[in-house]
Amino acid sequence: MSTSTVRPVVSRRQDLIGRGLMAFNSVITFAVFVNGFFLMAAASDDRLMVEGWRTFGYFVFSAMWALLALRPRQVPGIWELVIFHKTAAAILAITIFDTVEGFQSTFSDSWVALSTIAAYALCRGWLSWRGFRRTNDPVTAA
């Protein structure tokens, strides 16, 4: 009788690497969020809304990466939203590479886009959609 081992859908090593990437992105983005308050304090009145919007967005992305690090296969839609946004931001940054913000954002947004895509593959992020059915919603199931 042969004993065969069933390989898990996600290897432990790949899962840890993917989660680590998302945790890293979360921590770094949280630091940028905190720094955003200093930028807001130094911003002129006509730039305050833009700096505030950007700062609060850093917190949201930090939280989303934290969710992905903690529960990579239980948050349907978050992977895809983050990948879309960060890929679009990286493409925009590349198109305005000759500006100060474009130059800076090209590297940071490209990193987070590529690392999130890599983590999506490593953690098998698409598995978060398994079992996701609209009939689980108590409002629509009634």
Question: pLDDT for 40-95, tens place per residue?
Answer: 999 999 999 999 999 999 999 999 999 999 999 999 999 999 999 999 999 999 99
* pLDDT value of residue 66: 98
Confidence band (pLDDT; 50, 70, 90) for 138? low
Average pLDDT, integer, range 87-108: 95
Comparing 13-22, 31-40, 58-67, 122-131, the range with the smallest average pLDDT is 122-131
Confidence band (pLDDT; 50, 70, 90) for 10? confident
> Which residue carries 């999130």 as its tokens?
116
* pLDDT value of residue 131: 74
Average pLDDT, integer, range 19-47: 97
pTM of the entire predicted model: 0.84
* pLDDT value of residue 33: 97
Which has the higher per-residue pLDDT, 45 or 1?
Answer: 45
What is the distance between the alpha carbons of residues 26 and 19, in angstroms, rounded to a whole number? Answer: 10
Average pLDDT, integer, range 7-25: 90
Say yes or no to pLDDT of 9 above 90: no
* pLDDT value of residue 4: 54
